[in-house]
Amino acid sequence: MKRPLVHPLDRNATKEAKQMSEFYEETLGFTPNSLFTMMHRPRISTAFMELNMAVMENKGRITSHLKRELAYLSSMTTGCRYCEAHAIRAAERYGSDKTRLQHIWEYKTHPAFTDGERAIFDLAISASQVPNAVTDEVAEEMRKHWDEGEIVEVLGVIALFGYLNRWNDSMGTQLEDPAADHADKLLSHKGWSRGKHKY
C-alpha cells in the first residue's frame, strides 16, 4: 500500500486519545497507531480497550507472556506483520525468555515448551486459519491440560488478535519503530519484514 487506508488521529487531538495514549505507554511503551485510527470513532476504541483488558486479565494458569506468545503465533498464521511485531514485543516485555521467543515455531519438539503449551499453540494456529481448522483432536488436547475458563481465556486472545489482524492488515497501519526493532531482532531470521506497514 502507498499509504494507510485511514491516517491515525494525533495523540493530542482529543481527551480520549490522550487517556488511551497514557494507558498503552505502560503496556507496550508506546500507543499503537491502530488505536489512533480507531479513535476516529471513539466508541470503537473504547470498546476495544475494554475487551483487550478483559482478555489479557489472568484468572487461571495462562500467564501474560503465554498469551502474547500465542497472539504472535495466531498473527503469524494470518500473516499480519504489524500484529506479529506487537505480540513478540509484548511477549518479551511480559516475561517470555529469549529461548522461547527464538524457538517458538519449534514448539512441538523444543524442550522450552510444555505439552499444555503445545496444545494452546496448536489451537492458536488451527483457530486462526480460514476456514477454521480446529478438530476434535485439537479440542481434546486442550481439555486434557486446561479447564474451561482457561480455554475461554486462550480463545479470547485468538479472537482479539483475529480482530486486530483484520484491522491492521486491511488498514495498512504504519508499524511503530519500537515494535519493528523488536521484530527485526527476534523474527528476521524467520523472514519477518515490515511488509505493507512501512511508509
- Per-residue confidence (pLDDT) for residue 17, from 0 to 100: 77
Residue 68 domain-assigned?
Answer: yes
- Per-residue confidence (pLDDT) for residue 21, from 0 to 100: 77
Residue 6 domain-assigned?
Answer: no
Full domain range(s) for residue 94: 20-192
- The number of domains in the chain is 1
Residue 146 to residue 152: CA distance in whole angstroms? 10
Q: Looking at residue 132, what DSSP letter applies?
A: -
Residue 69 to residue 53: CA distance in whole angstroms? 17
Residue 102 domain-assigned?
Answer: yes
Spell out the residues 6+ positions from residue 160 whose beta carbon is closer than 8 angstroms to its own. 51, 52, 55, 71
Grid cell at residue 23: 494507558
Q: What is this structure's pTM? A: 0.94
Q: Give 142-151 contacts, CB < 8 A, sequence gap 24+.
A: 144/119, 145/115, 145/116, 145/119, 146/60, 146/61, 146/62, 146/116, 146/119, 146/120, 147/60, 149/59, 149/60, 150/59, 150/60, 150/61, 150/62
Grid cell at residue 31: 500507543
Residue 72 domain-assigned?
Answer: yes
Residue 9 domain-assigned?
Answer: no
Residue 60 domain-assigned?
Answer: yes
- Per-residue confidence (pLDDT) for residue 196, from 0 to 100: 93
Spell out the residues 6+ positions from residue 149 whose beta carbon is closer than 8 angstroms to its own. 59, 60
* Residue 172: CATH number of its domain: 1.20.1290.10
Residue 7 domain-assigned?
Answer: no
Maximal C-alpha separation, the chain: 49
Residue 8 domain-assigned?
Answer: no
Q: What is the pLDDT along the chain (199 residues), one digit of tens a residue?
A: 999 999 998 877 777 777 777 777 777 788 899 999 999 998 999 899 899 999 999 998 999 999 999 999 999 999 999 999 999 999 999 999 999 998 999 999 999 999 999 999 999 999 999 999 999 999 999 999 999 999 999 999 999 999 999 999 999 999 999 999 999 998 988 889 999 999 8
